[in-house]
Amino acid sequence: MNYVFTPEKVFFQEDSLSYPLGQKLYSSFKSKGIPIKIMKSIRITSLSEKTPEERYRQAKRILAVTVKKSLRFATCKPSAHFQLPLSTSCPGRCEYCYLQTTLGTQPYLRVYVNLDQVLQKAQEHIESRAPRVTLFEASATSDPVALEPWTNSLYKVIQYFGKQRYGKLRFVTKFTGVDTLIKAKHNGNTHIRFSLNSDKVIKNHEKGTPPLHQRLEAAQKIARAEYPLGFILAPLLIYPGWEKDYRTLLEVIKKKITSYEKNNLTFELITHRFTKRAKNIILERFPGSQLQMEESKRQFKWGQFGYGKYLYLPEEREKIKSFFLENIEELFPEAHVEYFI
């Protein structure tokens, strides 16, 4: 199955055509015969499909090409100091994704064409914090690799950070379009991570994304290009047989990422959590979902942004933590676990 994203319809903000990337995208989509609409400002207020599930799937096939007006970079804990806004949303339909609530009724994809202005703002942040190193996360609200075959934006950004002394880039992906990235002069300043899960979780909850073996093949390419490499294992789910499945996942990673490719290997571990609003949206968009979201079996905890989340019980989180730390230490003694939440 081909997982290269091709939109069914593209909306262009009129101002976006004043930028080289906007012109490039317009020519590319027009040559492919993809329907295009130019608007003074992007307003996708109505979708033709009837149910929330149908409207969600339709929105995930729409791309908006826009100018990023606000260049105020949001913070991005615990991953980095700042978000680096290159795009928003992604073609994947992962049930648990926090963008279900963050993007609300507007889950369509957006790409920003004023890349030079974004990088200029990043430069200001780097200079203001020097000689401290400033980390930027390019995937806080999107999966930028999904659009890379069209935009080549990541290639340009990686080249930019490759020349920085006090600035570094990070991003995570489930997608596999990394062929252009292996040619970039990154100088070790870009940390690429792949989001992985057990085969069962990917099959049941990560609709529209490449399977595990394809993600690991892309990770092999990145490792051989001598990028710092990492894996985000998220969300970690408890279900019958979870320990066996996750042990298998770690063994498959070890087999695919051979010893000469393990320099700078990192892991980030995130347990499943959900909000009441997220649960309601998920059940609307994915009727019949097998994602376990029973509040009575969870611990409610207020988050840093002023809303509550339902976490696994403390003893369950501790069991997950011990399992992964012990198995990663055994299979990847040279790796570093950046955090567990």
**Residue 262: band (very low, low, confident or very high) from pLDDT cuts 50, 70, 90:** low
pLDDT interval class at 101 (50, 70, 90): confident
pLDDT over 80 (residue 306): no
For residues 30-55, give the mean pLDDT.
Answer: 84
Contact by Cβ (8 Å): 239, 271: no
Tell me which of 37-46, 57-66, 194-203, 217-226 is least confident.
37-46
State the chain's mean pLDDT as an integer. Answer: 92
Domains and CATH numbers, the chain: 9-340 (3.80.30.30)
Three-state SS for the chain is CCCCCCCCEEEEEHHHHHCHHHHHHHHHHHHCCCCEEEECCCCCCCCCCCCHHHHHHHHCCEEEEECCCCCCCCEECCCEEEECCCEEECCCEECCCCHHHHCCCCCCEEEECCHHHHHHHHHHHHHHHCCCCEEEECCCCECHHHHHHHHCHHHHHHHHHHCCCCEEEEEEECCCCCCCHHHCCCCCCEEEEEEECCHHHHHHHEECCCCHHHHHHHHHHHHHCCCCEEEEEEEECCCCCHHHHHHHHHHHHHHHCCHHHCCCCEEEEEECEECHHHHHHHHHHCCCCCCCCCHHHCEEEECCCCCEEEECCHHHHHHHHHHHHHHHHHHCCCCEEEEEC
Phi and psi torsions of 237, nearest 5°: -115, 140
What is the spatial distance between Cα 31 and Cα 173, in angstroms, rounded to a whole number? 28
Q: Which among 116, 115, 59 is positioned nearest to 87, based on CA atoms?
A: 115
pLDDT of residue 77: 79
Q: Cα dist. 257→35, 108, 230, 262, 265 in Å?
A: 41, 34, 11, 7, 10
Residue 1 has pLDDT above 70, yes or no: no
Q: How confident is the model at residue 29 (pLDDT cuts 50, 70, 90)?
A: very high
Q: Is the pLDDT of residue 46 over 70?
A: no
| Pairwise CA distance, residues 42 & 37, whole Å | 10
Confidence of residue 109 (pLDDT cuts 50, 70, 90): very high
Minimum mean pLDDT range among 117-131, 209-223, 305-319: 305-319
Q: How confident is the model at residue 304 (pLDDT cuts 50, 70, 90)?
A: low
